Chains A and B, each alone.
Chain A
């Protein structure tokens, strides 16, 4: 089975801090994604990547950046954390276009 691992299950950070969320997948998937999930809003796409060093903005990229230096690793960066970035962050990967995703177990980030 594909495994998608997110480095932290729970994080508490202070406003203004730079935050790194790490995601690693072990099945050589080309495509990786970062979503955030909030009550009543569902999953919203932040950034995605189809290949190493490649990134594309999703629906809500403001306040975030990403890095994909290696195929298996896709990092989400909050440049200056704000309280409205308190959320559940979910990383996912897929092998081919139109395929279903495999998700990591999520990182619940609280910004205080």
Chain B
């Protein structure tokens, strides 16, 4: 079983739609959680950290469910510019500073 699993998609949604991605992780000793965004042929960039209490940044909301070992990302009022691959990222206790990446979920926002 992969340490971090994501549905690869693609998720094709119309502009203005609300879309949600889930990500599951296998190690219950996971410590830190992030969502990264990666545009085609570009490097990943940190979108937001995910805290136990959840957090919101504009149209983006991230949630953590430790009991079920998943994190989620909700995007409201999707824009064409949101089209990208979204990477779920986790650090594990005993894993030092290393981040473990999911393979990503592709989002395509269409007119």
Chain A residues close to B by CB (< 8 Å): 31, 33, 35, 40-43, 45, 48, 50, 56, 58, 90, 94, 96-106
Selected A-B contacts with CB under 8 Å, 14 pairs: A40-B8, A41-B103, A42-B101, A42-B104, A48-B96, A98-B91, A100-B46, A100-B99, A101-B44, A101-B46, A102-B46, A103-B45, A105-B42, A105-B43
Contact across chains for B103 and A42 when beta carbons are under 8 A apart: yes
B34 interfacial by beta-carbon distance below 8 Å: yes
Contact across chains for B43 and A106 when beta carbons are under 8 A apart: yes
Chain B residues close to A by CB (< 8 Å): 8, 31-32, 34, 36, 42-46, 49, 87, 89, 91, 96-104
Given A98-B31, A98-B91, A100-B49, A43 and B97 contact (CB-CB distance below 8 Å): no
Partner of B102, one of A40, A42, A98, A102: A42
Partner of B96, one of A97, A101, A104, A105: A97
Given A33-B99, A50-B97, A106-B43, 20 further pairs, Cβ under 8 A: A33-B98, A35-B101, A40-B103, A41-B103, A42-B87, A42-B102, A42-B103, A45-B98, A48-B96, A56-B96, A97-B96, A97-B97, A100-B46, A100-B49, A100-B89, A100-B99, A101-B46, A103-B43, A105-B42, A105-B43
Min CB gap B66→A, angstroms: 16
Contact across chains for A48 and B43 when beta carbons are under 8 A apart: no
User: What residue in chain B is nearest A31 (Cβ atoms)?
Assistant: B97
- In the bound assembly, the distance between CA atoms of A42 and B100 in angstroms comes to 10
Give the chain B neighbours of A101 by CB distance below 8 A: 44, 46, 99
User: What residue in chain A is nearest B32 (Cβ atoms)?
Assistant: A98
- In the bound assembly, the distance between CA atoms of A101 and B91 in angstroms comes to 12
Given A42-B102, A98-B91, A50 and B96 contact (CB-CB distance below 8 Å): yes
